[in-house]
């Protein structure tokens, strides 16, 4: 559910099932197949009754989407009037139109590695500048947070293979680009040059696990800024720089990291897998990956507290932010900026507009004391099972459970 490719599929509105095994691929040609991305089911030659049930689910989802469009121009506030910034995660140009149509306040995460995946070699500085300029221009004056190249783990470039025994614990994110400063420098130069005259760029550093990494990256960023403005004559405003909080070390050093940068962004997908020691791409342990695990909730609570102590902005850009129940929990913990797939934005907005901030704070305080992720989820479902909210949280499912493959 939270693998990189599943996230991309969701952002493109493509129903996706990950971890399916023993599918008779050679026998599927010409057969009717239903891909149920909500439940992780693949149905081959469903009965007419099951097909009709799924057609009804689809119709209800279309009706709900139409209803949600009515909230597009409404302010993004809680029922008590507190503003919540709803941003989008993106990386494909095709996302932009939908993001703007949904009323996104900005881009909380632009995955710069996606254009790299579409190339057969490293794109040049100028090629990158053109891509970034396009994004910055289309969203202007809204802020665009560009994450520096985040490869490794489950994101390998075909022309820059990384083979390791434990890829998620190895050479990835900022570790790669600091070891290859020529990649980092070219990318930051492209970003800054692209921002000239627009000044809505924010730079985000991924996979940070120490203050030394931040100091090294900031030295390179400052070097680029000096080269461009002093030596080459560009008129550029120094962009805000932030770090991703996605490994436990960053959680425990949040204050020290915040002291060095302008903002923090919590990546709940990786943070969950590292806290729980669960590979989110491994079907064997997928059931152990819990977005509502009490350890994660306490980590999230600590980060927002430490960011506030240092007077720094803090947001969440993981899949948890795009889940209406997760969004309620995050606002209750103190987060005021959430970044998600554009397709989830209006659903989250509609839920938050129906709840007072104090109520969400009380919900978060209550569930943070529960001992198990299943207890947390059950309590959230019970509390939010009310008219106007329940249908935004629970997808309608066919009554008959079909045979699964």
Full residue range of the structural domain in which residue 182 is found: 76-393
Q: Locate 368 and state its tokens.
A: 């943070």
- Is 290 noted as a catalytic residue in this protein? no
The residue annotated as part of the active site, out of 41, 290, 293, 317, is: 317
Residue 211 is assigned to a structural domain of this protein: yes
* pLDDT for res 5: 67
Residue 35 is assigned to a structural domain of this protein: no
Point out which residues pair with 265 in neighbouring strands. 244, 315
Residue 280 is assigned to a structural domain of this protein: yes
- Is 368 noted as a catalytic residue in this protein? no
Residue 29 is assigned to a structural domain of this protein: no
User: DSSP assignment of 206-245, as one string?
Assistant: -S---HHHHHHHHHHHHHHHHIIIIIS----PPPEEEEEE
Q: Locate 188 and state its tokens.
A: 């930051």
* pLDDT for res 400: 43
Q: Locate 226 and state its tokens.
A: 């000096």
* pTM confidence score: 0.87
CA 313 vs CA 108, 168, 182, 260, 353: distances in Å? 12, 28, 30, 13, 22
Q: How far apart are CA 61 and CA 71, in angstroms?
A: 16
The residue annotated as part of the active site, out of 1, 4, 180, 394, is: 4
Taking the chain (405 residues) in consecutive chunks of 10 residues, what is each chunk's mean pLDDT? Answer: 63 73 76 82 86 86 83 94 97 86 95 87 95 97 97 71 66 91 97 98 98 98 98 97 98 98 97 90 81 96 98 95 97 98 94 98 97 96 93 61 43
Residue 51 is assigned to a structural domain of this protein: no
Q: How far apart are CA 2 and CA 280, in angstroms?
A: 6
* pLDDT for res 46: 86
* pLDDT for res 93: 81
Tally of structural domains, the chain: 1
* pLDDT for res 170: 72
* pLDDT for res 377: 95
* pLDDT for res 311: 98
Residue 68 is assigned to a structural domain of this protein: no
Residue 384 is assigned to a structural domain of this protein: yes
Residue 18 is assigned to a structural domain of this protein: no
What is the CATH number for 198?
A: 3.20.20.60
Residue 87 neighbours by CB under 8 Å, 6+ apart: 104, 105, 106, 107, 108, 109, 145, 315, 317, 337, 338, 339, 340
* pLDDT for res 137: 97
């Amino acid at each position: 559910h939270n693998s990189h490719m599943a996230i991309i599929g969701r952002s493109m509105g493509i129903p996706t099932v990950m971890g399916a095994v023993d599918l008779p691929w050679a026998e599927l040609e010409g057969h009717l197949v239903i891909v149920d991305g909500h439940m992780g089911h693949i149905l081959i030659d469903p009965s007419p009754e099951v097909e009709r049930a799924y057609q009804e689910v689809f119709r209800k989802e279309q009706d709900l989407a139409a209803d949600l469009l009515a909230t597009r121009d409404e302010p993004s506030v809680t029922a008590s009037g507190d503003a919540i910034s709803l941003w989008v995660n993106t990386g494909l140009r095709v996302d932009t139109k939908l993001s703007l149509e949904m009323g996104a306040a900005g881009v909380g995460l632009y995955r710069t590695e996606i254009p790299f995946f579409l190339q057969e070699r490293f794109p040049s500085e100028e090629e990158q500048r053109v891509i970034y300029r396009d994004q910055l221009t289309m969203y202007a004056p809204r802020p665009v947070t560009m994450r520096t190249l985040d490869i490794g783990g489950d994101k390998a470039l075909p022309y820059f293979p990384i083979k390791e025994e434990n890829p998620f614990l190895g050479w990835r994110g900022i570790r790669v680009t600091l070891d290859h400063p020529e990649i980092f420098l070219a990318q930051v130069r492209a970003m800054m040059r692209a921002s000239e005259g627009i000044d809505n760029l924010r730079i985000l550093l991924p996979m940070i696990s120490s203050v030394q990494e931040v100091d090294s990256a900031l030295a390179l960023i400052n070097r680029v800024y000096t080269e461009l403005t002093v030596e080459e004559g560009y008129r550029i405003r120094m962009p805000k720089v932030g770090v991703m909080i996605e490994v436990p070390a960053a959680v425990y050093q949040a204050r020290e990291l915040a002291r060095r940068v302008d903002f923090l962004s919590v990546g709940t997908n990786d943070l969950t897998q590292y806290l729980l020691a669960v590979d989110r791409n491994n079907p064997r342990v997928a059931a152990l990956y819990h977005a509502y695990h009490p350890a994660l909730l306490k980590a999230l609570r600590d980060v927002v507290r430490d960011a506030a102590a240092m007077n720094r902005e803090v947001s969440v850009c993981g899949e948890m932010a795009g889940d209406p129940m997760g969004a309620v929990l995050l606002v209750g913990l103190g987060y005021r900026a959430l970044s998600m797939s554009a397709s989830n934005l209006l659903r989250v907005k509609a839920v938050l507009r129906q709840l007072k901030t104090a109520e969400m704070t009380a919900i978060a305080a209550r569930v943070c004391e529960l001992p198990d992720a299943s207890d947390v989820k059950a309590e959230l479902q019970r509390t939010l099972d009310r008219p106007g909210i329940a249908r935004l949280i629970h997808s309608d499912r066919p009554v008959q459970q079909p045979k699964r493959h």
